[in-house]
Amino acid sequence: MKQKQSVAEVVTALAKPLCEEFGYLLWDVEYVKEGADMILRLTIDTDAEGGITIDDCEKLHRAIDPILDEADPIEEPYMLAVSSPGVERTLTKPEHFERMAGEDVNLRFFAAHDGKKQLRATLEGYDREKDEVVVRIDGEEKRFPHKELAKCETVFDW
């Protein structure tokens, strides 16, 4: 029996080619309840100088809206939001960790590691074979199973 695709998976398949055409990276797609509203949030990134602008978000919003209307993947009313991941971004997928290698991150764990539930480190990358996040702390490489991370966010020192 074929499993039904989630809204995020269907929207990802619709949005990814459009993002690539515009030179954007589709960072994430979320379909979440916020207060009384359902929000379909597309998060986009770019390697272009200056990053994602409000104009980029508006451009994708206008282009994806009729595609979503045509495909009709969501039965209930929702609000469409297009945004950038920002300078302090949450990393959830292997490609996020790989893309942000070299950046400082805050790691939060479900259970303590060496007595700590939170660590700051430099992200080295992601080991897809072992499903581990690879970081450097005080010059030493450490690896943590992805499933043990409650959250990983890049850190921007203002």
Q: Which CATH class is domain 7-83?
A: alpha beta
Domain spanning 94-154 has what CATH number? 2.30.30.100
* H/E element, 21: helix 7-22
Q: What is the pLDDT of residues 73-94, one digit of tens each?
A: 998 999 999 999 988 999 999 9
How many other CB atoms are there within 10 angstroms of residue 33's CB atom?
9
pLDDT by residue (tens digit) across 38-51?
999 999 999 888 88
Residue 1: what pLDDT?
A: 40
pLDDT value at position 4? Answer: 59
- Asked if the model's pLDDT at residue 2 lies above 70, the reply is no
Q: How far is CA 132 from CA 87, 91, 112, 154, in A?
A: 23, 13, 16, 17
Q: Are strands 116-127 and 104-113 parallel, antiparallel or unpaired?
A: antiparallel
pLDDT tens-digit readout, 113-144: 889 999 999 999 999 999 999 999 999 999 99
Q: What is the mean pLDDT of the chain?
A: 93
pLDDT of residue 133: 97
How do the domains of the chain map onto residue ranges?
7-83, 94-154
Query: Of the candidates 83, 80, 84, 98, which has an alpha carbon nearest to the alpha carbon of residue 37?
Result: 80
Residue 3 has pLDDT above 60, yes or no: no
**Residue 96 pLDDT exceeds 90:** yes
